[in-house]
Structure 1
Amino acid sequence: MYVSFIISTVLFLLVNDGLTFDCPNSPSQWCESKEIAQACDVIEQCKKYVWKVYEDDNRVNLSIYYETLCPDCRQFITTQVWNAYQSILDIVNITFVPYGNARELYRPETKLYQFYCQHGAEECYGNLIHTCVLNFYPKSEQHLPFIYCMESTDGDTETVATQCAQKSSIDYDQITACTHSRLGNQLQHGYAVQTDSLQPPHQYVPWVTINGEHTDDMEKQAEKDLIGLICKSYKGSNPPAQCK
Structure 2
Amino acid sequence: MVVGCVFYLSFNYSKFSVNENMRSGNKKSQLSVYLEAQCGDSTHFLLSQLKPFWLEFIQSERIDFEIIPFGKARCVPVVDDFKRRMGKNFFRCVCQHGPEECLLNQLMNCVIDELYVPERYFPILFCLQGKMSQEEGVRDCLLPSRELPIQRLINCGSTIQGRRLLAQAGDKTASLNPKLSFVPWILVDGVRSVDALYNLKEVLCAKLIPSPRQCNAI
Structure 1 length as normaliser, TM-score?
0.71
CA contact (8 A) 1:64 1:206 kept: yes
Deviations 1:200-240 (A, max 9, x none): 101010000112111xxx21x212211111111123x3x32
Q: In structure 2, do the counterparts of structure 1 residues 192 and 231 end up closer, same or farther at CA, with 3 Å as the change threshold?
A: same
Q: Secondary structure at the match of 2:198?
A: helix
Q: Mind listing any 5+ residue stretches in structure 2 that lack a counterpart?
A: 1-15, 84-88
Q: Deviations over 1:32-65 (max 9, x none)?
A: xxxxxxxxxxxxxxx9896445469732111110
8 Å contact from structure 2 (residues 26, 208) kept in 1: no
Residue 203 of structure 2 corresponds to 229
Q: Tell me the number of residue pairs that the alignment of Structure 1 and Structure 2 aligns.
A: 191
Deviation track 1:116-170 (CA, whole Å, cap 9, x = no partner) reads 1100000000000000001011222111101111225x44321223321234543
Q: Which residue of 1 aligns with 2:182?
A: 204
Tell me, in whole angstroms, the C-alpha distance in 1 between the residues paired with 2:48 and 2:150.
Answer: 25
Aligned partner of residue 73 in structure 1, secondary structure: helix
Structure 1 residues not aligned, in runs of 5+:
1-46
Q: Is the 8 A contact 1:88 1:227 kept in 2?
A: no
Partner of 1:183: 161
Specify the alignment match of 2:33 in structure 1. 64
Over alpha carbons, which structure has the higher Rg? 1
1:77 counterpart = 2:51: no
Pair 115,241 (structure 1): closer, same or farther in 2 beyond 3 Å:
same
Q: Distance in 2 between matches of 1:52 and 1:126?
A: 36
SS at match of 1:65: strand
- State the TM-score, normalized to the length of structure 2: 0.79
Residue in 2 that maps onto 1:143: 121
- Cα RMSD for the two superposed structures: 2.4
- Structure of greater relative contact order (alpha carbons < 8 Å, 6+ residues apart): 2
